[in-house]
């Protein structure tokens, strides 16, 4: 790895902008909304059977998606603005082990240092018949292929680790926790990545590789390999002149 390469997370402003470009170029939120509209109400209805109130803990997802979900108008929400580890430490310290009917973790397990311990802890907070929803990139996505093939050659960062639903389901199996996994297709238009000097493309390349200024700092051989692979069928599909990266998501519903 070239010494000039550094993690995208080392430049907060560039990371935020690259993430914004990713959201604009992908169907990530549409994919999540589809699940929230079609699957989630049924899951929560089973949880809420004969209950006057459902207690929901949101970890990493903010208030928007679940609060906007259809058919949930009678559910009250309480948002805790802290990291999962901060919440876990506070709960253990104060010994306030409140039980929850529904816990959801949206695209946040990449930023947890000990994922099995985190899963075990939050699973222990589930009430009878409760569920925990985990959303992260699918093991069949292009991310899985990209991270496995090139992760060791890209800048490593303590803030983020490479984990997909394939890794997570193995962890859940080892913990003896029951779950159901749903995969939904999501794509990310990375066509601009192949246009020299295109600002949007450069920011998307940064996001894909989690590398600050990837196009100008990556060793030529690494850049050439990655740019070639991104156009291969195991990573992307070509449709109507566009290169659409496989950004598929997994929605894992964990049983109490």
Q: What is the pLDDT along the chain (256 residues), one digit of tens a residue?
A: 444 889 998 889 999 999 999 999 999 999 999 999 999 888 888 887 777 788 888 887 655 655 555 555 566 665 666 777 888 888 888 877 789 999 999 999 998 889 999 999 999 999 999 999 999 999 999 999 999 999 999 997 767 889 999 999 999 999 999 999 999 999 999 999 999 999 999 999 999 999 999 999 999 999 999 999 999 999 999 999 999 999 999 999 999 9
The reply to whether 107 falls in a domain is: yes
Is 118 in a helix, a strand, or coil?
Answer: helix
Chain length of the chain: 256
Residue span of the structural domain in which 242 resides: 6-255
Distance CA 88, CA 85 (A): 5
Backbone φ and ψ for 39, nearest 5 degrees, come out as -105, -40
How do beta strands 187-189 and 236-239 pair?
unpaired
Distance CA 56, CA 78 (A): 7
The reply to whether 187 falls in a domain is: yes
Q: Is 225 annotated as a binding residue?
A: no
The reply to whether 1 falls in a domain is: no
Q: Is 71 annotated as a binding residue?
A: no
Edge-to-edge strands, sheet with 56-59: 56-59, 100-106, 126-137, 249-255, 179-184
How many independent structural domains does the chain possess? 1
Distance CA 183, CA 185 (A): 7
Evaluate the CA torsion angle 113, 114, 115, 120 in order and state its sign. Answer: negative
Q: Cα 6 vs. chain centroid, distance in angstroms?
A: 22
pLDDT score of 55: 85
H/E run at residue 122 = helix 115-123
pLDDT score of 50: 72
CATH number (domain holding residue 14): 3.40.50.150
The reply to whether 169 falls in a domain is: yes
Residue 8 neighbours by CB under 8 Å, 6+ apart: 14, 15, 18, 155, 206, 207, 209, 210, 211, 212
């Amino acid at each position: 790895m070239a010494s000039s390469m550094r993690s995208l997370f080392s430049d907060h402003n560039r990371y935020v902008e690259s993430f914004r470009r990713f959201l604009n170029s992908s169907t990530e939120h549409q994919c999540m909304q589809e699940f929230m509209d079609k699957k989630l109400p049924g899951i929560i209805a089973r949880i809420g059977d004969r209950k006057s109130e459902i207690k929901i803990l949101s970890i990493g997802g903010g208030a928007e998606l679940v609060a906007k979900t259809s058919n949930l108008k009678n559910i009250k929400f309480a948002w805790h603005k802290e990291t999962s580890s901060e919440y876990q430490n506070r709960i253990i310290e104060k010994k306030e082990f409140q039980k929850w009917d529904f816990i959801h973790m949206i695209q946040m397990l990449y930023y947890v240092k000990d994922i099995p311990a985190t899963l075990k802890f939050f699973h222990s907070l589930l009430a009878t018949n409760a569920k925990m929803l985990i959303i992260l990139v699918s093991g069949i996505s292009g991310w899985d292929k990209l991270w496995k093939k090139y992760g060791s050659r890209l800048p490593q960062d303590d803030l983020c680790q490479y984990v997909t639903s394939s890794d997570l389901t193995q962890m859940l199996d080892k913990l003896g926790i029951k779950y159901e996994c749903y995969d939904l297709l999501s794509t990310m238009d990375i066509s601009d990545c192949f246009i020299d000097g295109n600002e949007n493309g450069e920011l998307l390349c940064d996001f894909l590789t989690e590398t600050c200024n990837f196009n100008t700092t990556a060793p030529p051989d690494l850049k050439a390999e990655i740019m070639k692979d991104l156009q291969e069928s195991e990573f992307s599909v070509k449709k109507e002149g566009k290169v659409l990266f496989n950004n598929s998501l997994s929605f894992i519903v964990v049983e109490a």
